[in-house]
Protein backbone atom coordinates (compact mmCIF):
# COMPACT_ATOMS: atom_id res chain seq x y z
CA UNK A 1 0.00 0.00 0.00
CA UNK A 2 1.38 3.40 -1.00
CA UNK A 3 1.76 6.07 1.67
CA UNK A 4 -0.55 9.04 1.19
CA UNK A 5 0.58 11.53 3.80
CA UNK A 6 2.93 12.28 6.66
CA UNK A 7 2.17 13.28 10.23
CA UNK A 8 2.52 17.03 10.80
CA UNK A 9 1.01 17.23 14.29
CA UNK A 10 0.61 14.52 16.89
CA UNK A 11 -0.79 13.97 20.36
CA UNK A 12 -1.86 11.05 22.51
CA UNK A 13 -5.46 11.04 21.23
CA UNK A 14 -5.22 12.31 17.63
CA UNK A 15 -2.92 13.24 14.79
CA UNK A 16 -2.96 15.48 11.73
CA UNK A 17 -1.35 14.53 8.43
CA UNK A 18 -0.45 16.50 5.33
CA UNK A 19 -1.52 14.73 2.13
CA UNK A 20 1.08 14.29 -0.59
CA UNK A 21 -1.47 15.08 -3.30
CA UNK A 22 -3.58 18.23 -3.27
CA UNK A 23 -7.34 17.62 -2.78
CA UNK A 24 -6.69 13.94 -2.07
CA UNK A 25 -7.44 12.63 1.40
CA UNK A 26 -9.07 9.53 2.87
CA UNK A 27 -12.83 9.76 3.23
CA UNK A 28 -14.46 11.13 6.36
CA UNK A 29 -14.73 8.15 8.75
CA UNK A 30 -11.98 6.29 6.89
CA UNK A 31 -9.46 4.19 8.81
CA UNK A 32 -5.81 5.18 8.39
CA UNK A 33 -2.60 3.74 9.81
CA UNK A 34 0.40 5.78 10.94
CA UNK A 35 3.74 4.12 11.51
CA UNK A 36 5.91 4.62 14.58
CA UNK A 37 9.59 4.50 15.48
CA UNK A 38 9.06 0.93 16.68
CA UNK A 39 8.87 -1.15 13.52
CA UNK A 40 6.21 -3.57 14.77
CA UNK A 41 3.88 -0.85 16.14
CA UNK A 42 1.32 1.08 14.04
CA UNK A 43 -1.33 3.56 15.16
CA UNK A 44 -4.90 3.51 13.79
CA UNK A 45 -7.07 6.60 13.44
CA UNK A 46 -10.49 7.57 12.07
CA UNK A 47 -10.47 10.60 9.79
CA UNK A 48 -12.76 13.22 11.33
CA UNK A 49 -11.72 16.40 9.53
CA UNK A 50 -10.40 17.20 6.05
CA UNK A 51 -9.29 20.67 5.02
CA UNK A 52 -7.41 22.41 2.22
CA UNK A 53 -5.85 25.84 2.58
CA UNK A 54 -2.73 27.92 2.27
CA UNK A 55 0.60 26.36 3.25
CA UNK A 56 1.67 29.69 4.75
CA UNK A 57 0.71 30.15 8.42
CA UNK A 58 -2.11 32.67 8.56
CA UNK A 59 -2.35 32.67 4.75
CA UNK A 60 -5.55 32.26 2.79
CA UNK A 61 -6.44 31.05 -0.67
CA UNK A 62 -7.52 33.81 -3.06
CA UNK A 63 -10.24 33.78 -5.71
CA UNK A 64 -8.96 32.45 -9.04
CA UNK A 65 -12.22 31.77 -10.93
CA UNK A 66 -12.55 35.23 -12.44
CA UNK A 67 -9.73 37.45 -13.66
CA UNK A 68 -9.78 41.25 -13.75
CA UNK A 69 -9.98 41.05 -17.53
CA UNK A 70 -13.32 39.26 -17.17
CA UNK A 71 -12.17 35.74 -18.08
CA UNK A 72 -14.03 33.07 -16.11
CA UNK A 73 -12.71 29.67 -15.06
CA UNK A 74 -14.71 26.93 -13.40
CA UNK A 75 -13.76 24.20 -10.93
CA UNK A 76 -11.03 21.91 -12.35
CA UNK A 77 -10.16 24.53 -15.01
CA UNK A 78 -8.81 26.73 -12.21
CA UNK A 79 -6.28 24.07 -11.21
CA UNK A 80 -5.34 23.37 -14.83
CA UNK A 81 -4.71 27.06 -15.54
CA UNK A 82 -2.90 27.60 -12.21
CA UNK A 83 -0.48 24.69 -11.72
CA UNK A 84 1.24 26.71 -8.98
CA UNK A 85 -1.71 25.97 -6.67
CA UNK A 86 -0.13 22.61 -5.83
CA UNK A 87 2.81 24.56 -4.37
CA UNK A 88 0.83 27.10 -2.31
CA UNK A 89 -2.08 24.96 -1.07
CA UNK A 90 -2.06 21.87 1.11
CA UNK A 91 -4.69 19.26 1.94
CA UNK A 92 -4.59 17.99 5.51
CA UNK A 93 -6.69 15.55 7.50
CA UNK A 94 -7.04 14.88 11.21
CA UNK A 95 -7.64 11.44 12.70
CA UNK A 96 -8.90 10.36 16.11
CA UNK A 97 -6.67 7.61 17.51
CA UNK A 98 -8.77 4.49 18.07
CA UNK A 99 -6.19 1.75 18.50
CA UNK A 100 -2.88 0.28 17.48
CA UNK A 101 -1.28 -2.93 16.35
CA UNK A 102 1.83 -4.46 17.84
CA UNK A 103 3.51 -7.64 16.64
CA UNK A 104 0.43 -8.43 14.52
CA UNK A 105 -2.07 -8.07 17.39
CA UNK A 106 -4.69 -5.27 17.26
CA UNK A 107 -5.61 -3.35 20.42
CA UNK A 108 -8.61 -1.02 20.58
CA UNK A 109 -7.23 1.51 23.04
CA UNK A 110 -4.62 4.27 23.02
CA UNK A 111 -1.07 3.32 22.01
CA UNK A 112 1.91 3.83 24.33
CA UNK A 113 3.19 6.67 22.11
CA UNK A 114 1.59 8.82 19.40
CA UNK A 115 2.96 8.62 15.86
CA UNK A 116 6.07 10.80 15.37
CA UNK A 117 5.86 13.95 13.27
CA UNK A 118 6.98 13.39 9.64
CA UNK A 119 6.33 9.64 9.80
CA UNK A 120 4.19 8.00 7.10
CA UNK A 121 0.42 7.56 7.00
CA UNK A 122 -1.26 4.84 4.91
CA UNK A 123 -4.90 4.18 4.01
CA UNK A 124 -6.29 0.88 5.28
CA UNK A 125 -7.57 -1.48 2.61
CA UNK A 126 -10.80 -3.47 2.94
CA UNK A 127 -9.09 -6.45 4.59
CA UNK A 128 -7.36 -4.31 7.22
CA UNK A 129 -10.58 -2.36 7.85
CA UNK A 130 -12.51 -5.60 8.28
CA UNK A 131 -9.93 -6.96 10.68
CA UNK A 132 -9.79 -3.79 12.80
CA UNK A 133 -13.57 -3.32 12.95
CA UNK A 134 -14.36 -6.91 13.94
CA UNK A 135 -14.16 -5.82 17.61
CA UNK A 136 -16.33 -3.00 18.93
CA UNK A 137 -14.23 -1.89 21.91
CA UNK A 138 -13.33 1.43 20.28
CA UNK A 139 -16.96 2.58 19.84
CA UNK A 140 -16.98 4.19 23.30
CA UNK A 141 -13.83 6.19 22.49
CA UNK A 142 -15.45 7.59 19.35
CA UNK A 143 -18.84 8.30 20.92
CA UNK A 144 -17.41 10.29 23.82
CA UNK A 145 -14.33 11.94 22.27
CA UNK A 146 -14.11 15.71 22.68
CA UNK A 147 -14.26 18.15 19.75
CA UNK A 148 -15.12 15.68 16.99
CA UNK A 149 -18.46 15.07 15.21
CA UNK A 150 -18.87 11.82 17.15
CA UNK A 151 -22.08 10.35 15.79
CA UNK A 152 -21.44 11.34 12.16
CA UNK A 153 -17.89 9.99 12.43
CA UNK A 154 -18.89 6.62 13.85
CA UNK A 155 -21.79 6.26 11.38
CA UNK A 156 -19.53 6.99 8.38
CA UNK A 157 -16.96 4.52 9.69
CA UNK A 158 -19.56 1.79 10.25
CA UNK A 159 -20.95 2.23 6.73
CA UNK A 160 -17.42 1.82 5.32
CA UNK A 161 -16.73 -1.19 7.56
CA UNK A 162 -19.99 -2.79 6.40
CA UNK A 163 -19.08 -2.25 2.73
CA UNK A 164 -15.79 -4.09 3.37
CA UNK A 165 -17.71 -7.26 4.32
CA UNK A 166 -19.64 -9.83 2.36
CA UNK A 167 -22.39 -9.91 5.03
CA UNK A 168 -22.77 -6.19 5.70
CA UNK A 169 -26.26 -6.46 7.19
CA UNK A 170 -25.16 -8.95 9.85
CA UNK A 171 -22.25 -6.66 10.79
CA UNK A 172 -24.51 -3.60 11.11
CA UNK A 173 -27.02 -5.51 13.26
CA UNK A 174 -24.25 -6.52 15.67
CA UNK A 175 -22.83 -2.98 15.67
CA UNK A 176 -26.32 -1.62 16.37
CA UNK A 177 -26.66 -3.91 19.39
CA UNK A 178 -23.35 -2.64 20.75
CA UNK A 179 -24.46 0.97 20.24
CA UNK A 180 -27.76 0.21 22.02
CA UNK A 181 -25.78 -1.04 25.00
CA UNK A 182 -23.54 2.05 25.09
CA UNK A 183 -26.36 4.56 24.56
CA UNK A 184 -29.12 2.88 26.55
CA UNK A 185 -29.71 6.10 28.52
CA UNK A 186 -29.92 8.33 25.43
CA UNK A 187 -32.68 6.97 23.22
CA UNK A 188 -32.85 9.98 20.89
CA UNK A 189 -29.12 9.89 20.15
CA UNK A 190 -29.21 6.12 19.63
CA UNK A 191 -32.17 6.34 17.25
CA UNK A 192 -30.53 9.07 15.18
CA UNK A 193 -27.28 7.11 15.00
CA UNK A 194 -29.03 3.88 13.97
CA UNK A 195 -30.80 5.75 11.18
CA UNK A 196 -27.42 6.88 9.84
CA UNK A 197 -26.02 3.33 9.62
CA UNK A 198 -29.14 1.71 8.18
CA UNK A 199 -28.28 -0.07 4.89
- Domain assignments of the chain as residue spans, ordered by start: 5-197
Angle between helices 168-182 and 187-197 (to 10 degrees): 170
Over the range 162-197, which residues count as b (16 or more CB within 10 Å of their CB) and which as e?
bebbeeeeebbeebbeebeebbeeeeeebeebbeeb
How confident is the model at residue 199, as a pLDDT?
Answer: 64
Q: pTM of this prediction?
A: 0.92
How confident is the model at residue 68, as a pLDDT?
Answer: 67
Q: Is 124:33 a contact under the CB 8 Å cutoff?
A: yes
How confident is the model at residue 72, as a pLDDT?
Answer: 86
What's the burial of 111, exposed, middle or buried (CB within 10 Å: 0-12/13-18/19+)?
buried
How confident is the model at residue 130, as a pLDDT?
Answer: 96
Rg (CA), the chain: 19
How confident is the model at residue 10, as a pLDDT?
Answer: 97
Calculate the alpha carbon distances from 135 to 44, 48, 176, 185 in Å: 14, 20, 13, 22
The segments of the chain whose pLDDT lies below 70 read 68-69, 199
Phi, psi for residue 112 in degrees, rounded to 5:
-65, -25
Measure CA 143 to chain center: 15
How confident is the model at residue 71, as a pLDDT?
Answer: 76
Amino acid sequence: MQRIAEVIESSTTRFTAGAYELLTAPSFGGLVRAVSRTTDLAIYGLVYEIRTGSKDPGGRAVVRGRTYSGRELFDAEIYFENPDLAEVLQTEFSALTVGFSEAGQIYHYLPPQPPPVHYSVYPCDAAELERFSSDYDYFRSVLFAAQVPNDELLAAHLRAAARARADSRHYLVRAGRELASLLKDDYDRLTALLRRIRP
